[in-house]
Structure 1
C-alpha cells in the first residue's frame, strides 16, 4: 500500500486556494501511484487561529463547512477520479459549534468516517472548537484492498489512550494529520504508538517555515525473528514535498496475528483508575511555554 503524506504549504484562511492546491495534490498523488493521501491538520484554513476579537472570531467561524458542502464534495470527486483514498481536513460546522475535523474518503468517493479532534488544545485558541467524543476505526476501500483505519489529529497523539482505543477497534493503520513542531521526543512518541499497538502510524505535517515537516510512517513491526527491527519506513526533513511511503500490509497483518503487543495480553480489570476524571486546572495561556502543544500561531503561508 502506497501512502503519500502532504508536506506542503497552504494559504492561511483561504479555503478556495487550499482546495485548488489540494485537488492538484490529488492528481500528483495518482502519478506517484498512491493508494492513500493524507493532508496535515486543518488544510482547509492552513490551521488559521481564531482571533480574540468578536468580529474576527465571527469571520473565522464563517470559514467552517459541512460534510455535505463543496469542500468534501470536491475531494469525493477527486477520490473517484484518481482511485485514491483521501484523508482531508477542515473546520466542520455542526449544530453544537465548530470542530477540528478529518474526513476519511475511500477510493469510490464514499465518506467512510468523519473524525472530530477529541484532545483540542484548550490552552490555546483551539478552545474555540467543540471537541469530539470518541475514537472509532473504519474499513476503507483502497486500490490496495480494504484497510482498517483510524484517525487522530495532532495533540491526540500525545495521549496514548487515543491510539490504544483505535487499536482495540482493530485499526491496523492510524493516520495523524498534524500541525506542530515535531521534535525528537514527539517522533519517539509516534514510533512508540506504533510499537505498543502493533499498528502502522502515519503523520502528515506542514513544512517550514510554519512547522518543521518530519512527516513520517512507522509500520509497527518492531520485531523480526525475535530481534528488534527498525520500523521507520520514512522520516522526512523540513522541506516542502510529497512524502511517499510504502506499507507492507501482508507483513503487518502476519505480525499482528502473532504479536505480544497490542491487545494480546492486556489486563483491563487492573486499569480502572484510567477511567477516573482529573481535577487539574488549565494554565492561563500566558503561562504555557512557547513550544507547548500546537503553539505556532502563524501557521500557513502569508499573503
Structure 2
C-alpha cells in the first residue's frame, strides 16, 4: 500500500497558540497531498532552548522563566493535535514532565490518541542542565507500520536507530532542532559543515537499517542558534526521496514501505546478516568502561 510520508521544516518559538496554528496549517497541507505520516520539528510546541554560552561546552544559559513551557502528553495541546490529525499519524516535539523531571520528548498521535512517546536520550551542548535524559528506545504499531521515534542528537549514535530497527521499526521519524556550526559558520547554510553532518546521518541511518527515514527540522533562528532546515524523506536504500533544502516547507514522498523494504533487503539484509556473537566482547567492554 502506497503511503505519503512528510517532514516539515519551519521555525517554532515560545508562542504555543501560534505553534498550534502552524501545526494545523502543516496538517492541512499534508492532508491535501495524501500524507499518512507527518513529522514536525523538535520543540515545535513551545520552542527549543536559547544557546547563549560561548564556551566550548556551548552551555544553555537559560533562566527558569525563559525555558520552554511544560506540557503533559495527556494534556490539551496534544489532544488538539490529535483532533487535527484524524486519520493521519502526526509526530510533534515538546517539553514534557512526569511531575519531577523535564524531558525533551517526541509524541506520535492520531485522532484516536497517543500512539507512542520518546524521551531524548543523547543530550548535546549542556541540554542536560535543563532536561533529564530518556532511558531507552522502543518501536510501536501505527497506521503507517511499525514506527520508531528519535530526537536530533540521538541520530548521531548508530545504536539508537539500530535499537528501533531491531524492535522491528519499518519507519523512523527523527525530529530535530539541528543548528549550523557556531565556530566555523559558512556563508551559506547549504555549505555549513553541520548541515553536511545532518544530511549524512539521515542517509546513513536509513541505509544501515534499511528503513524509511522521515527527518523534520527547525529553520530560522532562536536565541543564538541558526537552524539548517533540510527536512527530508529517505528511502531504505539511503536515497533522498524529497527534501526542503534550507527553506521552510514540506518534503513529501509517496511509497509502499513494505515493498521498499523488501526491495532494499532482498540481496543484502543488514539486520539479518549481523553477527552478534562477534560483537559481544567489544560491547561489554564499552559498557563496563
TM category, shorter = 0.7 to 0.9
CA distance in 2, matches of 1:247, 1:162: 24
Provide structure 2 residue ranges, at least 5 long, that are not aligned to the other structure. 54-61, 181-193
Aligned residues: 260
**Which TM-score applies when normalising by structure 1?**
0.78
- State the SS of the aligned residue for 1:19: helix
Match of 2:272 in 1: 264
Aligned with 1:73 (options 68, 79, 82) = 79
Offset of 1:246 from its aligned partner?
Answer: 1.9
Offset of 1:126 from its aligned partner?
Answer: 4.4
Offset of 1:175 from its aligned partner?
Answer: 0.8
Task: Summarize the Cα distance change of 1:239–1:205 in structure 2 as closer, same or farther, 3 Å threshold.
Answer: same
Offset of 1:74 from its aligned partner?
Answer: 0.6
Aligned with 1:249 (options 254, 257, 280) = 257
Q: Which runs of 4+ in 1 moved over 4 A?
A: none
Aligned with 2:283 (options 267, 274, 282) = 274
- State the SS of the aligned residue for 1:42: coil
Match of 2:196 in 1: 184
Aligned with 1:115 (options 109, 118, 124) = 118
**Which TM-score applies when normalising by structure 2?**
0.82
Aligned with 2:146 (options 141, 145, 148) = 148
Match of 2:106 in 1: 102
Check conservation: 1:137, 1:169, Cα contact below 8 A. yes
Check conservation: 1:50, 1:57, Cα contact below 8 A. no
Check conservation: 1:40, 1:204, Cα contact below 8 A. yes
CA distance in 2, matches of 1:111, 1:176: 17
The CA RMSD measured in Å over matched residues stands at: 2.3
Task: Summarize the Cα distance change of 1:109–1:79 in structure 2 as closer, same or farther, 3 Å threshold.
Answer: farther
Offset of 1:114 from its aligned partner?
Answer: 0.7
Check conservation: 2:103, 2:131, Cα contact below 8 A. yes
Check conservation: 2:140, 2:146, Cα contact below 8 A. yes
Check conservation: 1:102, 1:114, Cα contact below 8 A. yes
Offset of 1:4 from its aligned partner?
Answer: 1.9
Question: Deviations along 1:151-178, whole A, 9 cap, x unmatched?
Answer: 1110000000001000100111111101
Correspondence list, 1:130-145, <5 A: 130-141=132-143
Are 1:90 and 2:98 matched, yes or no?
no
